Structure 1
Amino acid sequence: MLDGFSLLIGLGWALFGLLWIFVPFAIFGIKGLLREILAEQKRTNEILSRAHGVSPRLDTPEGLPFRPERYP
């Protein structure tokens, strides 16, 4: 017969197995939404830079924050 601890361990492994199966599908399913958010953010930044007369920095690589000074 299973005692309480063995049952708890079994339920933990079952939960881990379900997460192991479903998490990759959730991650791949959200990629499209993240791309849409990124495109909208770029569009918003472009509109704001035009409204304020500021040209976007072209020498900063995309995806990296602009740091005016190097870290010590």
Structure 2
Amino acid sequence: MTYSKSAGGAVTARFGFNYQGTDYNDAGAFSINAGETKSYAWHNLNVLCNSVVVFLSVTGQGRFQTPAVSDC
């Protein structure tokens, strides 16, 4: 997952995904400023053709998520 921040002040955020009703987060929250890009990748996931929702949680602003996607 990649997030590019184009404007505004710094925020603290973290990447995550939801699989079968359970949230899984990245290795830890990060701070990002305008003009920066942050990425995170999960490796060796076995989601067995089920849908996954990827999200970005931003402190004080909430959760922003993608539509459900499948690896099939």
TM-score range, shorter chain: under 0.3
More helix, by proportion: 1
TM-score (norm 1): 0.20
TM-score between the two structures when normalised by the length of structure 2: 0.20
Higher Rg: 1
Q: Which has the higher contact order (CA 8 A, sep 6+)?
A: 2
